[in-house]
Amino acid sequence: MPSDQEYRKPNNKLADWRDSCLHSSFAFYLFLFRCLIYFRAKMNRLLRIFLIVVLLALSFMLAVWLNNDHSYTHGHRYAELSIVAGMIPEEQKQSIISKFNGSSPLPPCPPTPPGLEGPLRIEFEWSRSMSDVRNSSRENLQEGGRYKPLDCIAQHKVAVIIPYRNRKDHLKHWLYYLHPILKRQQVDYGVYVINQHGEGTFNRAKLLNVGYVESLKEYAYDCFVFSDVDLVPMDDRNLYRCHGEPRHMAVAMDKFGFQMPYKNYFGGVVALSRVQYMRINGFPNNYWGWGAEDDDMHKRITLKGMAVSRPDSRLGMYKMVRHLRDTHNEVNPQNPGQLHNTAKTMNSDGINSLIYSLIKIEKDELYTMIDVDIHAPN
């Protein structure tokens, strides 16, 4: 990005040229005025009239120029705004732009979004195409699945992070429902699909750590919602935002009869603020295959003196896209045994020990796909 000085340089040249012309015009104006005074006795009446007309014309031109200079100043200020736009808080930016536009600044979005619908009818229609999803969801979306409310300033900057491999149909349903829900919730959000490259053993938790790191390279998110691709909320009042404590959102899945499978369950969809996430050193990296990484997260939270918050079972209902167990994501019988060592390993196994190789990043209009090699065992 060009420096502030590089942006200013063309404007300074224009300003110097304008000032030089202005000074020269004043000098010429004074020269004619002195000629009129000193040589008036030697001038005939016609020449004196001509000089007076010239002086009046110059006076008018200078007045017009100074007036136009006032307009230029506003334009210059707009140019300066574009330079510093990325360095000031969103609230101040909107306020400054609104002042120059002559409009009122955008208000902060209310704590309870006004457009929520409540309970939703969720149907996974297999005839639904990705084209259908794009047509229904693309309105006001920015490249990479980014969105900001148009009528207020969002109070929550949320990265929604999805661990992924070979789940196109599930992703299609998730995008179809979640984009409209998140828009109604007035969230400043981005959707990041973290694809595990290759056919090695799947590692959900490590992919979530990758999503945390990569999303922060793009935007200053302050909240992270980690969601399985096969879970869709059945009530849009279950807000995708962070709270004072780590949030378990998927508390009543249809898979479990709309009940918690056990007391300390922390799977499916969870939300952590940046501070909460770093306090527990993120997710563990050493849970290969299916199982126990979410229990490890619950232990990390409690070991750091935090509690898990949850919506009630009515708001926290989720519908799961049914599917068979993925190849290379079979239940790993060794994973539960690691839970006995969480207190010893959590400070060394997590975001501070994350190692991966970035393959590529693709910007779809509905999401950002991040393809990574997490060095999985075969």
Task: Give, in degrees to the nearest 5, the angle at Cα 192 between 188 and 196.
Answer: 170
Task: Tell me which residue of 137, 128, 159 sits closest to 365, measured CA to CA.
Answer: 137
Phi, psi dihedral angles at 129 (to 5 degrees): -100, 165
Cα–Cα distance between 270 and 310 in angstroms, integer? 9
- How many CB atoms within 10 Å of residue 133? 19
**How far apart (Å, rounded) are the C-alpha atoms in residues 56 and 62?**
10
Burial of 60 (0-12, 13-18, 19+ CB in 10 A): exposed
Please tell me the distance from the alpha carbon of residue 289 to that of residue 274, in angstroms, as a whole number: 26
Residues annotated catalytic, as ranges? 228, 230, 290, 293-294, 320, 323, 325
DSSP helix/strand/coil, 272 = strand
Torsion of CA 277, 281, 286, 289, to 10 degrees: -10
Q: Which letter, b or e, does each residue of 28-49 get, where b requires 16 or more Cβ atoms within 10 Å of its Cβ?
A: ebeeeeeebeeeeeeeeeeeee
DSSP H or E segment with residue 5: helix 4-38
In one-letter notation, the amino acid at residue 284 is P
Residue 23's alpha-carbon distances to 17, 28, 29, in angstroms, are 10, 9, 10
The overall longest dimension of the chain from CA atoms, in Å, is 114
